[in-house]
Structure 1
């Protein structure tokens, strides 16, 4: 089984729900397993402020999760057009993985959530790609062959799946948001599988 890491940070459940839909897409592809992981909150001085083991939900990610994955889906809510500090803090600690080259040539996707329609989704997705490119990963977007991309009134961008939560932070995904996230998971898993099959020939 190819282990595909779905690494996310979520405070109100929106990014978690996108991660779950992406995991469903991944696991619809034969031979692929979604591994959900999250990261702990940090303080304003960038120190972890939660226990090493979460009380519920997905376990916290380790550098070994990055090293061992066949592909990566990375999700974070938007913070002024960028990823949340907790996710940035985790990625900033991945220089050892960069030195070893363990992520080189592996496919990756990104996803996000905002309160407003124009709340920085695309800039967040683009900036989340930067550390993945430094790691040598192959970043995949969402093609417009995914028909929901053309008529969504909520989330969904060519750079990655997304959700518009509204002022009250509603984590419930629209039909289109679910389909875009699912299809992105499928595309990631299919690409990882094709790359793996190529290694065997």
Structure 2
């Protein structure tokens, strides 16, 4: 039996904000009939060459496989902003996708990004660009957030036209504002809608 079409919600989360955003993006995906969200995370990377991560995470979503990425109909990818760039564990996972690039398995699939930082100008938009770049090399179609989402205009917390974002007041703050929740759900819904249109 063939698996139902899904949007892969793939992320790395250190303090919980990105994990929380992923749940709201998944809610948006699941609003589109015939599509479901598949939430997956990537493991930490070690500063040494010794493998320290267990095969299964202690908590949260399972780790993503390359097959799950290859077979998705759309992708929502998330990372905290580290100095204006995606976190090393997510970059490490993307660096392993050469076989998918060589075989063109992600070409013409829609993708979007989400991020969080602890300051208003903590590099959220640049971080989204850092996730966008390798996906464009894969031939994916980047889908941001249009301004028809009024929360994007009114927000005093996170939210950008490049993708959903969260402003954490401290590194342990993972409570999303109502605007941030709405924008995450709008992003998930949009990526599923585009995925559905591209399949017809």
TM-score range, shorter chain: over 0.9
SS at match of 1:96: helix
Partner residue of 1:134? 137
Could you tell me how far apart the structure 1 residues matched to 2:49 and 2:179 are? Answer: 35
Unaligned runs of 5+ in 2: none
Q: Aligned pair count?
A: 197
Equivalent residue, structure 2, for 1:69: 72
* 1:47–1:106 distance in 2 versus 1, CA, 3 Å: farther
- Where does the alignment leave 5 or more consecutive residues of structure 1 unmatched? none
CA contact under 8 A between 2:15 and 2:171: conserved in structure 1?
no
Q: 2:90 aligns to what SS in structure 1? A: helix
Q: Do the aligned partners of residues 190 and 79 (structure 1) sit closer, same or farther apart at CA in structure 2, a change above 3 Å counting? A: same
Cα RMSD over matched residues? 1.1
TM, length-normalised to structure 1: 0.95
* Aligned mate of 1:196, from 174, 179, 199: 199
- Residue in 2 aligned with 1:11? 14
| Residue 149 (structure 1) shift | 0.3
Q: Is the 8 A contact 1:40 1:48 kept in 2?
A: no
Decide whether the 8 Å contact of 2:113 with 2:128 is kept in 1. Answer: yes
What's the CA shift for 1:56? 2.0
* Residue among 55, 59, 84 paired with 1:56: 59
Q: Counterpart of 1:95?
A: 98
**Cα deviation per residue 1:39-66 (whole Å; 9 max; x = unaligned)?**
0001124765311111221110110011
Within the candidate set 95, 114, 119, 2:122 is matched to 119
Partner secondary structure for residue 84 of structure 2 = coil
CA distance in 1, matches of 2:198, 2:49: 37
Match of residue 179, structure 1, among 167, 173, 182: 182
